[in-house]
């Protein structure tokens, strides 16, 4: 009895009475557990029934089916041979499936282009997803092993085209790993042989291949001989049946794989059929495709008519027979893991509890829905674009790690009226397994117990201690109160066996193999750590001379457009500062066009990350010339522990394709962000003309001074007075009072309420500057709560920036304090505008309220905390306009636009600097979001001089405002300023809501040292103004003429009136050569103030422009007749 029981457990023999007693103890323990199991568990008697129960768990295979939490069978018995064999198709079954696929191929998406816009289609026959924008299409497919293979991103293609032909560009190189292959360890095969035989002696044992089965058979015979017993594990009749079945199977496979037709005299390479082979190790459930094409499909078509060729093409053709089988490193992928053969930068990286970071994901399912899916996993804590049903469609592709059960959702949203796609990722860890509650859980517990017994008993030679992780008696007690537990356990067995080990061939590694298997199973129930998680990955085919467009700079010099050629290697744009930063903007654009022509021609694929913290955007060109772009959270400062049953959602990434260069890309981003990102209550509105006290007064603000300035400002058309820094605590300079958000009664004896009332009585709105994220050491807040700062307690080391420290916004008490203070300010006074500033970056980032293992989450939690306070302001005070700022443009990104319709572009207000800053910013961000003001001269940042007219025109292409002391301006200056304010109010609906064109840029050789900007009216405009144009000269080249200015975006068949506004009166004295700036008559660019021209003439012939000195400018208003 003990010999047969030992054989069933994988032991070769019972060596002694002591070993026999151990086995008796083992059997008694198993029976005791069965006795304590819930009554709903069917009783089992005998070893064969116990092992049959384990095998039954494997047959039922609880790991497949729904997206709910699942109980996965142990790895030893997980995917049995019988199940795989039963899942295979016969030839007739396969032909039926192929015929069904041909029928499905006849059902394709609608061919009407308008019906396709903003929709997602999945063609089942080719396993291809197509996402249709306004004029573009994005396509990828599920390949034969369940990977998502990127196919195409560009102008919309007919839905009848089968894009799988593109995969023939894949050519595997030497040293590139091939496709993943399924394998099984010998010990697993042997275990299944034993289980099958014990479970059903009457049925022949099933094997996939002859060699492995014969090897197992020889092992069984060796055991019988060693045991010296007639009653071995398998009787002779069963063994004979196995061998006979194997021989028949081998002959059938050889017959099916043999070539048909005449046999040549020349030796032919043996063709291997893949009829019964799995496509890959990670693609359970996928139907294997034929690898050998039919003979007539490989023949060459020669001397055939067009009709014959067409008939040949229209015949049913199975692409899967001929698509190259290549590894991950050769494919273009939608999502890439680490460590399974793709050596490019991965999309994600996780660490399981057992130390493994291998996580191959394969397709599990997908969902298509109308409208944009809300970010439910982020629970409203991140900025997100919006979209109603009919405006967009969403696709969720569900991916899964088959072994651990980790799930990843790739979420796509495609919009109807713009060529844009929003992408994000949700990663989910399955809930902990619930043991011992109810019949099913108890049954699983029983099976798990016996499986552990099997594992323990199969180890040999070395003394392996296996702790059985189960206590059914206690579990049953807790089940009465509906509590599930998973306890570490009671019974410890020691086994000793001969040299042969069924876990691995190397006996030295048996214990490690055992521990590894158990740990990997347990990692499903515990937490895992996310080390890297991108929001979007896109692979591109090889292109000629790829160029990368970025926006970079520094404080007071932000977002200059840069272009660099991409070569083999990696380019990274990132921020580690806790904000998106002045230095690098979260934007990337890939193009195949040179800088001279990229504005209006060529393909552009652009990425804008909707996030305000640390980011990384990387582009790598491989040795093949292909390019991968990743966009997401910066992995250098991001780690996230994901407990069992929890999920994490990334910020969104907006992706835009343009076939008309950067210009088309800009139009798409502007429309996308105006309509679907910026709070919709501000859509189409014009911000009030404001006057900010900063450059006029700095910290020297008082009630009387502000009221005096407001009275003058009202006469020139100002609509909003903003009280900047210096109003709170005892704030006389930058060294004190940040965090003390109450009025300085020395300066404002009537409080903010009194000041707001005085300003409101003039018919003006009142706004306020705050810096909620910061604190001065010299403040009441710091004295009360020094622990609220970002810093590790006990480490007496830190650095200050601008005399201030950063509050830890990952703390809810900090968020609540700031919310309380802001609510009091906005409730007690009529504050209709908030300027939210942030004047330093993060250092010593450590959260004293966060567990040590979660310190990698602090940067992200900080940003989420800031978003939460901004969300509160939007919900509680929806009529208060917010303008965010970070030392100027240090946090100018799409994430902030979700909460504030405008962002201060830069602390540098010099017009020469602002031309480049606003020019670069306009690539992605709408003009209505670009904070721009008319300021003093000489400029406070550069000491350069410029005319009031040029300062007006630069500020016109933004939110427009004043930041100068109007009390000191002369009467003529105030009159001129009043004209500009009135003109802004007239033109702003066109400028802020229309399409923006960068007509000239200094990067172009023909227009060097000059900028020319143009805005065309939105389609619903009723003002009669068709366009607004402004030209700026940054550097004079004496004796060189500017080219004719060719306009864009007009109707070539329409007639227009071209009106020059605010003409120059300067002229050159021909006698002396001196430029005289004033006193002359208007110098009309076209000879007179108004000229009538056709759209064709304005766009092809152009307008003459004559500018004379650095900072000179001119402007035109185009009226459609």
| DSSP result, 552-585 | EEETTEEEEEEEEE--BEEEEEE--SSSS-SSB-
Q: Is the separation of the CB atoms in 528 and 406 below 8 Å?
A: yes
CA 362 to chain centre: 18
d(Cα 291, Cα 679) in Å, to the nearest integer? 54
Nearest to 181 by CA among 398, 326, 285, 72: 326
- Out of 419, 725, 893, 907, the active site residue is 907
Backbone angles phi, psi at 413, to 5 degrees: -130, 125
Give me the numbers of helices (H) and strands (E) for the chain, helices first please.
Answer: 25, 41
Q: Is the separation of the CB atoms in 839 and 822 below 8 Å?
A: no
Backbone angles phi, psi at 18, to 5 degrees: -65, -40
Can you read off the two tokens belonging to residue 28? 């008694």
> Which burial class, exposed, middle or buried, applies to 379 when counting CB atoms under 10 A from its CB (0-12, 13-18, 19+)?
exposed
Nearest to 345 by CA among 657, 569, 71, 137: 569
Q: What is the CA radius of gyration of the chain?
A: 36
Can you read off the two tokens belonging to residue 333? 């992928």
Nearest to 1115 by CA among 1017, 1011, 1039, 1024: 1011
Indicate if 419 belongs to the active site: no
> Which burial class, exposed, middle or buried, applies to 319 when counting CB atoms under 10 A from its CB (0-12, 13-18, 19+)?
middle
Look at the alpha carbons of 634, 635, 636, 642 in this order and tell me if their dihedral is positive or negative: positive
Nearest to 613 by CA among 838, 881, 900: 838
Which element (helix H / strand E) includes 984?
A: helix 971-993
Q: Which residues contact 415 (CB under 8 A, 6 or more apart)?
A: 118, 133, 134, 387, 391, 392, 421, 422, 672, 676
Indicate if 837 belongs to the active site: yes
Nearest to 1117 by CA among 1000, 1027, 1011, 1044: 1027
d(Cα 126, Cα 213) in Å, to the nearest integer? 36
- Out of 724, 740, 744, 837, the active site residue is 837
Nearest to 89 by CA among 99, 102, 78, 79: 99
CA atoms within 13 A on the CB side of 842: 29
Look at the alpha carbons of 443, 449, 450, 454 in this order and tell me if their dihedral is positive or negative: positive
Which element (helix H / strand E) includes 255?
A: helix 236-257
CA 509 to each of CA 459, 467, 495, 1065: distance values in angstroms, whole numbers, following the listed order: 10, 18, 16, 90
- Using DSSP bridges, classify how beta strands 528-540 and 348-351 pair: parallel, antiparallel or unpaired: antiparallel
Q: Would you please indicate which residues are annotated as catalytic (active-site) residues?
A: 837, 907
């Amino acid at each position: 009895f003990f010999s047969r029981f030992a054989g069933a457990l994988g032991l070769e023999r019972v060596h002694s009475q002591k070993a026999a007693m151990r086995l008796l103890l083992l059997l008694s323990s198993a029976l005791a557990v069965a006795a304590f199991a819930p009554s709903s568990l069917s009783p089992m008697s005998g070893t064969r029934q116990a092992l049959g129960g384990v095998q039954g768990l494997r047959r039922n295979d609880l790991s497949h089916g729904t997206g709910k939490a699942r109980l996965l069978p142990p790895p030893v018995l997980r995917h049995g041979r019988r199940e795989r064999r039963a899942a295979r198709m016969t030839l007739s079954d396969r032909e039926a499936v192929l015929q069904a696929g041909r029928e499905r191929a006849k059902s394709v998406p609608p061919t009407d282009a308008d019906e396709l816009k903003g929709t997602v289609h999945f063609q089942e026959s080719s396993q291809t997803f197509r996402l249709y924008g306004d004029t573009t299409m994005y396509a990828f497919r599920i390949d034969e092993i369940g990977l998502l293979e990127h196919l195409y991103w560009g102008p919309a293609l007919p839905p009848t085209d089968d894009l799988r032909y593109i995969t023939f560009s894949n050519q595997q190189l030497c040293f590139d790993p091939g496709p993943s292959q399924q394998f099984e360890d010998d010990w697993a095969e042997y275990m299944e042989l034993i289980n099958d035989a014990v479970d059903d002696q009457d049925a022949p044992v099933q094997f996939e291949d002859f060699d492995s089965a014969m090897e197992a058979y020889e092992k069984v015979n060796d055991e019988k001989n060693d045991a010296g017993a007639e009653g071995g594990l398998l009787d002779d009749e069963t063994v004979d049946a196995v061998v006979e079945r194997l021989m028949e199977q081998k002959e059938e496979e050889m017959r099916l794989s043999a070539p048909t037709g005449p046999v040549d005299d020349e030796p032919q390479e043996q063709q291997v059929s893949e009829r019964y082979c799995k496509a890959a190790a990670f693609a359970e459930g996928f139907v294997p495709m034929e690898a050998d094409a039919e003979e007539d499909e490989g023949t060459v078509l020669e001397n055939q008519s067009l009709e014959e060729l067409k008939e040949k093409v229209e015949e049913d053709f199975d692409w899967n027979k001929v698509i190259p089988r290549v590894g991950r490193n050769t494919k273009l992928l939608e999502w890439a893991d680490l460590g399974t053969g793709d050596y490019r930068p991965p999309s994600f990286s996780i660490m399981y509890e057992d130390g493994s970071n291998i996580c191959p994901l394969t397709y599990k399912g997908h969902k298509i829905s109308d409208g944009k899916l809300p970010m439910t996993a982020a629970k409203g804590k991140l900025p997100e674009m919006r979209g109603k049903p009919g405006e967009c469609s969403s696709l969720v592709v569900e991916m899964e790690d088959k072994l651990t059960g980790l799930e990843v959702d790739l979420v796509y949203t495609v919009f109807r009226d713009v060529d844009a796609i929003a992408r994000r990722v949700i990663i989910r860890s399955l809930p902990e397994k619930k043991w011992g509650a109810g019949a099913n859980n108890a049954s699983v517990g029983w099976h798990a117990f016996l499986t552990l017994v099997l594992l323990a008993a199969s180890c040999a030679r070395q003394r392996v201690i296996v702790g059985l992780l189960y206590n059914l008696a206690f579990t049953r007690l807790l089940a009465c109160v509906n509590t599930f537990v998973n306890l570490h356990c009671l019974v410890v067995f020691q086994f000793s066996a001969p040299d042969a080990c069924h876990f691995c061939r190397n006996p030295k590694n048996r214990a490690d193999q055992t521990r590894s298997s158990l740990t990997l199973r347990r990692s499903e129930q515990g937490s895992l750590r996310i080390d890297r998680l991108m929001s979007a990955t896109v692979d591109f085919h090889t292109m000629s001379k790829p160029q990368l467009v970025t926006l970079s700079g520094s404080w007071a010099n932000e977002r200059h457009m840069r272009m660099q050629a991409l070569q083999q290697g990696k380019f990274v744009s990132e921020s580690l500062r806790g904000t998106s930063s002045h230095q690098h903007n979260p934007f990337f654009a890939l193009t195949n066009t040179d800088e001279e022509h990229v504005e209006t021609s060529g393909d552009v694929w652009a990425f804008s990350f909707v996030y305000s913290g640390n980011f990384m955007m990387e582009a790598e060109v491989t040795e093949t010339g292909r390019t991968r772009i990743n966009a997401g959270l910066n992995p250098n400062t991001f780690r996230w522990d994901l407990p069992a049953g929890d999920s994490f959602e990334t910020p969104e990434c907006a992706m835009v394709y343009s076939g008309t260069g950067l210009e088309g890309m800009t139009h798409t981003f502007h429309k996308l962000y105006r309509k679907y990102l910026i709070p919709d209550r501000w859509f189409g509105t014009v911000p009030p003309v404001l006057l900010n006290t900063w450059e006029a007064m700095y910290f020297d603000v008082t009630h009387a001074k502000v009221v005096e300035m407001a009275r003058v400002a009202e006469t020139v058309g100002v609509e909003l007075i903003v009280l900047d820094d210096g109003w709170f605590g005892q704030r006389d300079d930058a060294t004190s009072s940040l965090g003390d958000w109450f009025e300085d009664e020395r300066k404002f004896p009537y409080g903010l309420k009194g000041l707001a009332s005085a300003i409101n009585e003039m018919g003006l709105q009142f706004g306020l500057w705050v810096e909620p994220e910061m604190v001065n050491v010299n403040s009441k807040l710091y004295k009360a709560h020094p622990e609220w700062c970002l810093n590790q307690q006990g480490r007496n080391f830190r650095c200050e920036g601008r005399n201030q420290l950063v509050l830890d916004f990952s703390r809810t008490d900090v968020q609540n304090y700031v919310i309380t203070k802001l609510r009091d300010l906005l409730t007690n006074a009529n504050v209709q505008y908030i300027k939210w500033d942030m004047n330093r970056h993060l250092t010593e980032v450590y959260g004293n309220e966060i567990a040590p293992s979660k310190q990698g989450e602090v940067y992200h939690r900080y940003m989420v905390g800031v978003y939460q306070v901004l969300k509160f302001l939007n919900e509680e005070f929806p009529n208060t306009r917010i303008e965010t700022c970070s030392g100027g443009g240090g946090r100018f990104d799409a994430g902030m636009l979700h909460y504030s319709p405008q962002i201060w572009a830069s602390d540098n207000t010099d017009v020469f600097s602002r031309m480049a800053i606003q020019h670069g910013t306009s690539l992605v961000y709408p003009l209505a979001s670009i904070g721009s003001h008319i300021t003093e001269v000489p400029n406070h940042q550069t000491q350069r001089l410029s005319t009031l007219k040029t300062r007006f025109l630069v500020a016109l292409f933004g939110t427009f405002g004043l930041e100068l002391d109007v009390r000191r301006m002369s009467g003529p200056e105030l009159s001129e300023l009043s004209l500009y304010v009135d003109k802004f109010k007239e033109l702003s609906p066109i400028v802020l809501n229309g399409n923006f064109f960068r007509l000239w840029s200094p990067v172009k050789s023909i227009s060097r040292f000059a900028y020319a900007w143009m805005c065309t009216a939105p389609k619903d405009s009723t003002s009669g103004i068709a366009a607004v144009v402004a030209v700026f000269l940054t550097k004079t080249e004496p004796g060189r003429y500017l080219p004719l200015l060719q306009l864009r975006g007009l109707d070539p068949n329409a007639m227009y009136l071209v009106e020059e506004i605010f003409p120059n009166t300067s002229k050159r004295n021909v006698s002396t050569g001196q430029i005289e700036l004033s006193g002359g008559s208007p110098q009309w660019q076209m000879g007179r103030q108004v000229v009538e021209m056709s759209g064709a003439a304005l766009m092809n012939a152009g307008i003459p422009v004559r500018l004379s000195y650095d900072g000179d400018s001119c402007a035109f208003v185009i009226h459609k007749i």
